[in-house]
Amino acid sequence: MLAAFAIAALAGLTSCSNDDPGNSPYAFTTLGFQKISPELIGGPTAYGANLYPGATDQVTTGPIMEVYENTYLQFPVNYGYNWNADFSGQEWCYSFYNGGFAASNWHNTGENSYENQLSAYNPGSPSGGNFVVANGYSSVTDPVNASLSDYDGCARIYVTDADGYTVMNPGVDRAPSGVAKSAYFLEVYICPTTYSYLTMLNGNDYAQALNEANRGWFKVQFISFDSNSPSAKPTAYVEAYLANFNPDLNGGYTGMLDGWAALSLQTLPATSVLVVNFVGSDTGEYGLNTPAYCALDMFTVAVEKGL
């Protein structure tokens, strides 16, 4: 069942009238991924071997796209800088399996396997082209009192200048290099990946199916930070159920999201780092069992002019 997500009005971010939008103190843009470089697309199969060390064409950066006048969104494969202290090679920082983003245009809706981790459970995308897949999660149960370093295993969208961020040396507990900027995230389209959807539907060797009998649920969270410091505290978060068979949870029973849907992010304040995290009912000794993936596309973002 396709879940419905409300889209709030943009009035909270503009003082202009509908008749004169040019007077808005904010610049608005919607960013898809259809024009990114082909070298950034995960391949040569829907597993994305080029997202890991050892590939001759390894992807060590992610899409970085301009929002407005030297303010960019950066979607790194992985730019961890604290959790990887035990690794001796900096190349491990770039590994997608440690949590990050992969640009994709894969749509295999029939294979329930990590080897199909880059496929969206839909034959298209809102932008009509590429999208990104967020991977990775944190076991944080209290996002209000967490810090950015607690989400080292998650995908992170950085708001940066044109140069963006680079990976720091392993074990260095400080913010990434580069200039932090800020933006308002207003909306994003979300879609389950095939791997996560079919696992929620049927289960697999590691995870149970989510259904009415076990009142199962699985959700994606978007958590905002106003600083890229590891000690920064969350400023707000928005979450949406990719599956919910528990009528006692917020929003009640919704079943499973089986395609693209718009999610409003307008309750988030100005953000320098936006973390994507996953939480679910099927957890065990080693954490979340449901595959922690979600496809994302068409970010609508606003930047205050003159900053």
d(CA 254, CA 276): 21
Residue 12 has pLDDT above 70, yes or no: no
Predicted local distance difference test score (pLDDT) of residue 22: 58
Residue 44, by phi and psi: left (phi above 0), alpha (psi -120 to 50) or beta? alpha
pLDDT at residue 224, rounded to an integer: 97
- The pLDDT of residue 304 is 92
> pLDDT tens digit string along 30-58?
999 999 999 999 999 999 999 988 888 98
Question: Is 42 within 8 Å of 51 (Cβ atoms)?
Answer: yes
Query: Side chain identity at 160, as an amino acid letter?
Result: T
Minimum mean pLDDT range among 10-14, 148-152, 245-249, 297-301: 10-14
Say if residue 290's pLDDT is above 70.
yes
- Residue that wins the pLDDT comparison between 79 and 270: 270
Mean pLDDT of 210-220: 96
For every residue of 179-196, DSSP letters joined together read -B--BEEEEEEEE-BHHH
The closest alpha carbon to 291, from 191, 190, 206, 211, belongs to 206
Q: How far apart are CA 26 and CA 286, in angstroms?
A: 44
pLDDT at 7: 31
* 252 against 88, higher pLDDT: 252
pLDDT in tens, 148-196: 989 988 999 999 998 887 755 444 444 556 789 999 999 999 999 999 9
- The amino acid at 65: M
The pLDDT value given to residue 232: 94
Q: In this structure, are residues 198 and 117 in contact, taking their beta carbons and an 8 Å threshold? A: no
Q: Is the pLDDT of residue 82 over 70?
A: no
Examine residue 143 and say whether the peptide bond preceding it is cis (omega within 30 degrees of 0): no
CA–CA distance, 47 with 178 (Å, rounded to integer): 31
Q: Tell me, what's the pLDDT at 92?
A: 53
Comparing 10-14, 19-23, 196-200, 247-251, which segment has the lowest mean pLDDT?
10-14
Residue 250 pLDDT exceeds 90: no
The CA-atom distances, in angstroms, between 287 and each of 48, 175, 256, 278, 297 are 24, 27, 22, 11, 27
Per-residue pLDDT, averaged over 289-294, amounts to: 98
- Identify whether the C-beta of residue 260 lies closer than 8 Å to the C-beta of residue 189: yes
Which pLDDT score is estimated for 293?
Answer: 98
Return all residues near 56 (Cβ < 8 A) that are at least 6 apart: none
pLDDT value of position 102:
96
pTM here?
0.88
Instruction: Specify the DSSP class assigned to residue 81.
Output: S
pLDDT digits (tens, 9 = 90+) for 87-129: 444 555 668 888 899 999 999 999 999 999 999 999 989 998 8
Residue 74, classified by CB atoms within 10 Å of its CB into exposed (0-12), middle (13-18) or buried (19+), is buried
